Structure 1
Amino acid sequence: MGVFTFVCRKSGGEWEAKQHKGELEGSAASTYDLERQLVSAAYAKDPCGGVQSSFTMVSPDSAVCQVIIGAAAAGPAVASAGGAAASGGAAAEAPKAEEKKKEEEKEESEDDLGFSLFD
């Protein structure tokens, strides 16, 4: 798993980024283009899995961009999607069963009061 953190600053009309404790750099006219460029640069350096990125403004002229490659969050999401497909639709029936159980619990709790609103 690789974590790449970039310090970004706006100089004139151009955004520039330098990696914190590294040699990767980038520049672009907009924050969106800069983030895309930094993700591409980080992935080229460490292409080992899923990619997560965040771009957080600190002030109008500065920001922090973080790119995480090979994040643990990507693994379970893929595994759970595969498990649902292999179950033959049982995963789709689980929410219905939970709903029914909640309705039964609700009915039981109304009976505990000794009266019903609809009697």
Structure 2
Amino acid sequence: MGVFTFVCKNSGGEWSAKQHSGDLEASSSCTYELQRKLVKAALANESGGVQSSFSWISPSSAVFQVIVGGGGFVGGAVAASSGSAAPAAEAPAAEEKKVEEEESDDDMNLDIFG
């Protein structure tokens, strides 16, 4: 499992990102494209499922984290980083629906036409 943390900054309309403790980096004119490039860069170093998180710090800076691998992410990154996933909750037993029989007018001895 690989965790990649990037510091993103906007300067002059151009977004750039550098890995916090590593040498991966990318730049783009918008944050969406920057995130796609950073995910691709992380996948070039690790393989597996991807989870990402983009958090604004100010209008011109953000932190982007990419987690690659680690199996299932039950309960988010905390469960994945602890090495054990929480067991899936058991589905509640299906309740049986009682089908009520429709009463006819004959059963109530009501005859409005006779």
Same fold (TM > 0.5): yes
Q: Percent of aligned positions with the same letter in both sequences?
A: 56
The residue aligned with 2:107 is: none
Report the Cα offset of residue 72 of structure 1. Answer: 3.3
- SS of the counterpart of 2:62? strand
Look up the equivalent residue of 1:62 and give its one-letter code: S
Shift of 1:99: 4.0
**2-structure distance, mates of 1:12, 1:45:** 30
Structure 1 counterpart SS, 2:71 = coil
Q: How does 1:1-119 map to 2 (within 5 A)?
A: 1-47=1-47, 49-74=48-73, 98-100=93-95
**TM-score normalised by L of structure 2:** 0.65
Shift in Å at residue 45 of structure 1?
1.2
If each structure's helix is expressed as a fraction of its own residues, which one has the higher value? 1
Higher Cα Rg: structure 1 or 2? 2
What TM-score do the two structures reach when normalised by structure 1? 0.62
**Aligned CA-pair RMSD:** 2.5
Deviations 1:55-104 (A, max 9, x none): 111110000000000033258xxxxxxxxxxxxxxxxxx96x72417x8x
Contact 1:53 1:66 in 2 (8 A): yes
Count, aligned residues: 83
Give the whole-Å Cα distance in 2 for the aligned partners of 1:16 and 1:46: 22
Q: Which runs of 4+ in 1 moved over 3 A?
A: none
**Distance in 2 separating the partners of 1:45 and 1:100:** 49
Give the Cα separation in 1 of the matches to 2:17 and 2:72.
26
In the TM superposition, residue 46 of structure 1 has moved relative to its aligned partner by 1.3
Deviations 1:13-62 (A, max 9, x none): 00000000100000001110000000000000112x10111111111000
Gaps of 5+ in 2: 75-89, 98-114
